[in-house]
Amino acid sequence: MAQVQRMSRLMVKTLRDDPADAETLSHKLLVRAGYVRRNAAGIWTWLPLGKKVLDNISRVVREEMDAIGAQEVLLPALLPKEAYEASGRWEEYGDLLFRLKDRKGADYLLGPTHEEIFTQTVKDQCTSYKDLPVMLYQIQTKYRDEARPRSGVLRGREFQMKDSYSFDTTDEGLAESYRLHREAYIKIFNRLGLDHRIVSAVSGAMGGSASEEFLAPAAAGEDTFADCPNCDYAANTEAVTFGLKAVDGSAHPAAEDIATPDTPTIETLAAQLGVDASATLKNLLVKVDGEIVAVGVPGDREVDLGKLGEHLAPAVVELVTAEDFEGRDDLVRGYVGPQGLAKVRYIADPRVAPGTAWITGANKVDTHAKNVVAGRDFEVDDYLDVVVVEEGDPCPKCGTGLKLDRAIEIGHIFQLGRKYADTFSLDVLGQQGKPVRVTMGSYGIGVSRAVAALAEQTADDKGLSWPAEIAPADVHVVAAGKALQTELAVEVAEKLGAAGLRVLVDERPGVSPGVKFTDSELIGCPKILVAGRRAADGVLELKDRRTGEREELTVEEAIARLTA
């Protein structure tokens, strides 16, 4: 059956100029090429060309998920509160959750992810070990009330996602389901033509243990990942760790208070004492579920609040305010030190190892203390890696300096374990006739986000340039303008369509050849076939959109080349 779309009938309006609010390349080009249109902040309409690309990505995802034995379902997007209240995520998600009430006052949400509902579904459908293992997936619209939706479809409040879930009776079974998904994801992203890295990650609000992200390197990426140039180590910066190594601190003299007037910051302290900031100990005060906690890091490093939040999840972490110091004589703003903080939990980065000596606050105005040794003058309640990772930090695996790059998260896989099974008492009858608690995995792919990631990685100064697997058409046939050229273009397009190719043919009357050529490059199909100056001789020009290579071919040669 012919698969020919005429541009004269296609609902597409290309733009010559970038949208005023667009910051990223994908945002600019997807709007200019007529793939998407903005309805509101973070809410987008997928126009015919965009829907074709979205559907092609979904097709690839479905094929590879089906290949590992996963079964497709479709769960509701409108969900009752009770399941998420039971898991604790009704509160944990905070302002990211879209909440609403029905006419009777019952609470609902628009699903950001579906662990709870999948768990309940399997609990209802699977009662014996004979029913497992099972892997279920859906391609569904998800909702998150982003504070600052931006970058077009990269960070929206409504987005398309493939989420799948595995259910096994043993940890070994979970490991196998995880392996199958990991291999399927590699095949999916390879087929899509996405350059990607697999990195260690943290689980966040999802919960669970083992966790890896699939990242697409791109300047527009909102994730930063660390990559070792010497070994195979790669991790999201929130997952990079620094080993705790105690040192011998016995040679350090006793701690001593020193006058340091007007030095409430690390910068002013280091300048007055003539020392490097790395010799000082920075103590950041935060509130964890309302309780004040001190976090100690070397003075030349910054606390990664996102990393700290991941370590302490589901607790809410926020910075203290001036009001929090009221009535707290033990907390001297700008001069806090870990020694003497009896009423405050003290968390330290592993770089503040036992035996290391520091210059830090003396808990007195205009006073610091030197020779303050960890493990001798103060105790650390918890060691957590909480500093912002910097270029050159040692690789946890081999010690080589790490490289940092920006990337877009396109996939994430988790070994959830029994977190949700425990919440909903998901048991099946085991081989011994006794209940067995099920263990789970969770696996996500950002389908709409993959469209933007591909645009970021493959576009050039002329426009989009899609990989063949997901392009809206295999070939874009352009009629230069005259009646003979248009007739030949349509004829060739029909023959290509009959041969099974997806064809976009630009036979628009009254549109100049220059506009048609510009649109063909902006839209970005892999091959562009032009019926131009030699149309009367039955000769066409075939152009490769990615490389720019051109060659003249007869109609028969062009059809043979494109259908080979």
Structure tokens given for 51: 């829907």
Instruction: Flag whether pLDDT at 2 surpasses 60.
Output: no
pLDDT at 206 over 60: no
* pTM given for the model: 0.88
Does 147 have pLDDT greater than 70?
yes
Q: Is 525 in contact with 536 (CB distance < 8 Å)?
A: no
Distance set, CA 488 to CA 39, 89, 474, 480 (Å) = 39, 60, 18, 10
The token pair that represents 325 in the structure block: 């110091």
Is residue 236 pLDDT above 90, yes or no?
Answer: no
pLDDT computed for residue 238 by the predictor: 84
pLDDT at 142 over 70: yes
DSSP for 34-74 reads TSEEEEETTEEEE-HHHHHHHHHHHHHHHHHHHHTT-EE--
Q: Are 400 and 392 spatial neighbours (Cβ–Cβ below 8 Å)?
A: no
Q: What's residue 154's pLDDT?
A: 93
Q: Quick one: average pLDDT of 68-91?
A: 96
Give CA angle at 102 (96, 106), nearest 5°: 80
Does the pLDDT value for residue 112 go beyond 70? yes
Using the predicted structure, report yes or no on whether residue 242 has a pLDDT greater than 90.
no
Statement: residue 1 has pLDDT above 70: no
Distance CA 272, CA 254 (A): 22
pLDDT, position 239: 84
| Residue 395 pLDDT greater than 80, yes or no | yes
Work out the pLDDT band at 244, boundaries 50, 70, 90. Answer: confident
Judge if the upstream peptide bond of residue 80 is cis by omega within 30 degrees of 0: no
Q: Does position 86 have pLDDT exceeding 90, yes or no? A: yes
pLDDT, residue 203, reads 60
**pLDDT of res. 78:** 98
Output the average pLDDT for the chain. Answer: 94
Q: Is 314 left (phi over 0), alpha (psi -120 to 50) or beta?
A: alpha
The phi and psi torsions of 247 (rounded to 5 degrees) equal -125, 165
> Would you place residue 150 in the very low, low, confident or very high pLDDT band (cuts 50, 70, 90)?
confident
Among 392, 393, 400, 390, which Cα is nearest to 231's?
Answer: 400
pLDDT tens column, 248-274:
999 999 999 999 999 999 999 999 999
Position 311 confidence tier, pLDDT thresholds 50, 70, 90 = confident
Position 40 scores a pLDDT of 95
Query: Backbone phi, then psi, for 155, in 5-degree steps?
Result: -135, 85
pLDDT tens for residues 349-394? 999 999 999 999 999 999 999 999 999 999 999 999 999 999 999 9
SS3 content of the chain, % helix, strand, coil (to 5): 30, 30, 40
Total residue count of the chain as it appears in this document: 564
| Per-residue pLDDT tens digits for 404-454 | 999 999 999 999 999 999 999 999 999 999 999 999 999 999 999 999 999
pLDDT of residue 80: 96
Tens of pLDDT, residue by residue over 123-132, are 999 999 999 9
